[in-house]
Structure formats: structure tokens, C-alpha cells
Amino acid sequence: MPVIATPDAFNQEDLFVDLGSVVGHSLYLKCEGFNFAGSIKLKAAAAMVAAAECEGRLRPGSTLLESSSGNLGVALSMIAASRGYRFLCVTDSRCNLASRQLMEALGSCVHVIAEPDATGGYLAARIEYVRELCAEDERYVWLNQYENAANWQAHHLTTAPAIARQFPRLDVLFVGAGTTGTLMGCARYFRDRDSSVRIVAVDSVGSVTFGGPPGPRMLPGLGTSVRPPLLDESYVDDVVCVAEADAVRTCHDLARRGFLFGGSTGTVVSGATSWLAEHDTDGLTAVAIAPDLGERYLDTVYQTNWLYGVYGHDVLGTDDLSTGTRSA
């Protein structure tokens, strides 16, 4: 029985779901939402805070500052509360209400950017506001998840080794791309081991991460409107871009099997399913990383009025993930 003194000391690292009967292909889903922060972002948050403390940038009286679409903000709120720091999260209007409420319940302040930057979208607008705050007050400590090496190093030390332990003969790994911290940490780990594991990045349609045209995106988490500085495409073997409507349908298909996951997980599973359907997968061992659970998406992904308003009334037709068919 684990006994912990701080909330970031616990994370269920070795839970995998066999999705073969759901998607029609051999696919194991690494579930990262079973910790007190509720997402994989706990790892990056803890690593970045620890690095800032070791560097002497984060001291008593400092105020943590970060731009986040939700999950990292919740993780940092939890860590800040446990360590006695103040925390200000700069987010935007796409952030789930539940995430904002969680941050505030943990004692953090939340600033919502209402208008996107003309060229860089909401992300650029959030970062610009963060830079302005830092210039005004030296007590702010910006962790900068977009350029912070501790972001990807956290997954190099934890996430990837846990996958390798459970699947020593892994053939392909599907990783969602946001800041690309998880992607780069896992990809570098397997490359460092001189592994033949194929790394497939899963991105959202409308994201510019891998050079696609910018477009509207309503689901927080994956995708960016500014190319992530952490990204090194030489570590990525393939990229799959998923339309948000497909991610939503995948979430609902998983929920009908009793697995309530978040929008980022729906995106990754949808991308993995489409990739596996197009490749010779006989005998392949494939793993996908599920960044989050679904409770924070009850008022969006799992709320039909919101879905109809954003994606149209046919978004939830009858899907069959194993064949890729859909009827209205």
C-alpha cells in the first residue's frame, strides 16, 4: 500500500487497456490519468518545478506562472498548493470549465485570454501576456513548458521506460503532440536505446506543429498554433492528423465500452486506429498513450448541445471503430 506525503508523489505508471476488441487491431492504451492531477501533465509539472528550485529561480515568495490549456495548469496548481507557492495560470476560452474550477479550488488564479493573436492564435496571445507579466514583476517565475527541457526529460525518465518494461518487443508507439514534451521524451528514449520502435505522432487538424495549415480547434490539449520549440522531427517516423469530429466520435465509442477518456485520448486513439488500418499490422505490438480521463470534458465532448453547436447534428452518428464505417 503506497503512503504519500505530497500529492505529486503518486502516479499509476503501469496501467494499460487492451483495446483490441474496440478498434479491431492489436492496440494497448497506456492510461496516464490516475493521479491526483488527473493527467500525464503531472510528470512535466513536477519535473519543471523541481528544476526551477534546483536552479534557484523558484524561492519562497515566488509566484509560479504558466500558459496552459488546462491539464498542466491543474497539475501546477496542485504542486503549488502542496509546496506553498502562489500560481497564476494564463489560459484561453477553450479551457474546460472543470479545469478552471479545479485550479481555483486549489487556490490558484486563472486569467482567461478572450481574443487570439492575429497570426499565432490563442497560444501566441497567452505567451505574450505571460511575457508582459514577467517584465512587470520579477516575482513571477515562468516555467515555460514550450522550451523547458525538463518537460521532455520527465517522459524520458518515466513514461517511456514504463512502456519498455511492459512491452520489450514494442513495434510502434503512438503519442499525441501538444508541446511535444511527451513525444520527444519517449522518442529520444527509444532512439537512445538504438531501438527499432516506430514513433508515430498524432496531431489535430488545424494544428501547425508539423507544417499543416492553421485552422480552428475547439478541443484543448493537442495541437498548437505556434510550432513547438521542443520538437525535433528527426525523431518522428510518421504523423497522423485527426479531425476533431473523429476524436469526439472515438471518445463516445470508448465511453460506450465503459472507458471515459478525454479529448486528447480520443484524438490519439483515433489516429492510432487509422494508422493501423492502413498498415500491415499482423504480429505488431502497438501502444498508444492516453494523456487524460474524461470527467473534465463532460460539458464539451460529452455534452450533445455543445457538440451539435460546434460540429453539427450528425457528429455522433453510428460508428464502428473496427471497420471505420459510419451511418447517420
* pLDDT tens sequence across 285-301: 999 999 999 999 999 99
Would the CA dihedral through 231, 235, 239, 244 be positive or negative?
Answer: negative
* Contact (CB, 8 A) for 265 and 181: no
Dist. CA 168–CA 164, nearest whole Å = 5
pTM check: above 0.75 = yes
Write down the pLDDT at residue 116.
83
Whether the predicted pLDDT of 321 surpasses 80: no
Percent of the chain with pLDDT over 90: 80
271 vs 25: CA distance, rounded Å: 13
For residue 104 the three cell numbers come to 481555483
How many whole angstroms separate alpha carbon 253 and alpha carbon 258?
9
pLDDT at 326 over 50: no
What's the confidence (pLDDT) of residue 56?
A: 93
Region 44-64: what's the mean pLDDT?
A: 94
* pLDDT band with cut points at 50, 70 and 90 for residue 324: very low
Please say if the pLDDT value at position 327 is more than 50.
Answer: no
- Residue-wise over 134-154: b if at least 16 C-beta within 10 A, else e? eeeeeebbbbbbbebebbbbb
DSSP annotation string for 166-196: H-TT--EEEEE-SSSHHHHHHHHHHHHTT--
Other CB atoms within 10 A of residue 120 CB: 18
Contact 17, 254 (CB under 8 A): no
Residues 6+ apart with CB under 8 A from 276: 23, 25, 27, 284, 286
Q: Which residue has the cell 520549440?
A: 229
List the chain domain ranges: 7-31+155-309, 41-142
DSSP state of 301: T
- How many Cα neighbours within 13 Å face the side chain of 155? 27
pLDDT of residue 145: 94
* Beta-bridge partner residues of 287: 28, 173
Contacts with 45 (C-beta within 8 Å, 6 or more apart), sequence order? 8, 37, 72, 75, 76, 78, 79
Query: What is the separation, in whole angstroms, between the first and last Cα of the chain?
Result: 49
Q: Look at residue 41 in the predicted model and tell me its pLDDT.
A: 96
Q: How confident is the model at residue 226 (pLDDT cuts 50, 70, 90)?
A: confident
> Could you write out the three-class secondary structure of 106-149?
CCCEEEEECCCECCCHHHHHHHHHHHHHHHHCCCEEECCCCCCH
Residues 6+ apart with CB under 8 A from 51: 148, 150
Q: Looking at residues 18-37, what average pLDDT do you find?
A: 95
Q: 7-31+155-309 with 41-142: one CATH topology?
A: yes
Average pLDDT of 101-105?
A: 96
Least confident range from 18-27, 114-123, 155-164, 197-206: namely 114-123
Mean pLDDT confidence for 177-204: 95
C-beta of residue 224 within 8 angstroms of C-beta of residue 252: no
CATH 1.10.10.10 fits 7-31+155-309, yes or no: no
Identify whether the C-beta of residue 297 lies closer than 8 Å to the C-beta of residue 262: yes
Q: Let me know if 109 is exposed, middle or buried by CB neighbors in 10 A (0-12, 13-18, 19+).
A: middle
Largest Cα span, the chain: 58
CB atoms within 10 A of CB 59: 11
Distance, in Å, from the CA atom of 61 to the CA atom of 140, rounded to the nearest integer, reads 9
Q: Which fold has domain 41-142?
A: Rossmann fold (3.40.50)
Q: How confident is the model at residue 93 (pLDDT cuts 50, 70, 90)?
A: confident
Give the pLDDT of residue 124. Answer: 87
DSSP helix/strand/coil, 66: strand
